Amino acid sequence: MLILFGIYLGSYADITIEELKKDYADRNSKFIEINGVQVHYKDQGVGFPIVLLHGTAASLHTWNDWTNDLLQKYRVIRLDLPAFGLTGPHKTDNYSIAAYTSFLHQFMTKIEVPKFYLVGNSLGGNIAWNYAAKYPNEVEKLVLIDASGLSTNKPQPFIFKIAKTPVLNAAFLFFTPKFLIQKNLEQVYFNDHKITDTLVTRYHKLALRTGNRKAFIDRANLSFKPKDSSNIAILRGIKTPTLLIWGENDVWIPKENGKKMAHYLPNSTLVILKNTGHVPMEENPIESFQALYRFLEN
């Protein structure tokens, strides 16, 4: 009986996009159709454009603090990538890096922004460096924040293990307790005291957006083991001025990966932030923004 009661408490129905818009869209929110998907994005400010790409299970809201400062001088474009946030699942269920790179190019072409600075965290960082390699004439400067793309000896985060395990991943479509999101954020953050209920609620509710849980499982079950040899070759070919920002205490993608990536990128600088985890722009916005601003203004 107690087990059934616990399952009941952790069971959550999907939340419709219209319901989520009430809390997570505002007057700056826009929607644009890319391959049949209504992509949620914000395009604010004036100046040279800077594009911000979030990581797995996050949304454009992860850039809130940076955006407030960037708007003083830049045009800031941020979006919910397919499978996440208000954008939701891709029509073809294709969540490969190549598909995300193609999607981003379609998005930038459709909003008519031919040149820009490109910033990405984690998955967004992986998309960003692949984009810079494929479209070097579009990206003026590249910023990679705890970016994925090279192998690591760290164990796979438990949330991905759940999504890849039969039965458990089926249950995940209905049983998605808030404490699971809390535990995930405690891995992502170094300082758990910075994890507020508002933050957990946002991540939790957006995970419940209709189709997002299925999309998370679909993406997790792709083969994401990096092919270091081919990825290193791509990184070596990127001549774009690049800043790497890494949390010293990242348990998902350790700072050693940042050092390796900086070694392979021929025109790069690495900044490692103490007492910081996997999402420096969210957990440590002041120090991470200072590093970004110095790079952009140099």
pLDDT of 158 reads 64
> How far apart, in Å, are the Cα atoms of 64 and each of 137, 149, 231?
28, 25, 31
Q: pTM value?
A: 0.93
Q: Report the CATH number of the 2-297 domain.
A: 3.40.50.1820
Q: Locate 50 and state its tokens.
A: 């800077």
Q: Tens-digit pLDDT profile for the chain (298 aa)?
A: 333 333 434 579 999 999 999 999 999 999 999 999 999 999 999 999 999 999 999 999 999 999 999 999 999 999 999 999 999 998 888 999 999 999 999 999 999 999 999 999 999 999 999 999 999 999 999 999 999 999 887 777 767 777 677 666 677 777 789 999 999 999 999 999 999 999 999 999 999 999 999 988 888 877 556 678 899 999 999 999 999 999 999 999 999 999 999 999 999 999 999 999 999 999 999 999 999 999 999 8
Angle at CA of residue 209, ends 207 and 213, nearest 5°: 55
What is the H or E stretch that residue 169 is in?
helix 168-172
pLDDT of 240 reads 98
Residue carrying the six token digits 């603090």 = 65
pLDDT of 6 reads 37
Residue ranges per domain, the chain? 2-297
pLDDT of 11 reads 72
> How far apart, in Å, are the Cα atoms of 69 and each of 8, 224, 262, 293?
43, 34, 26, 9
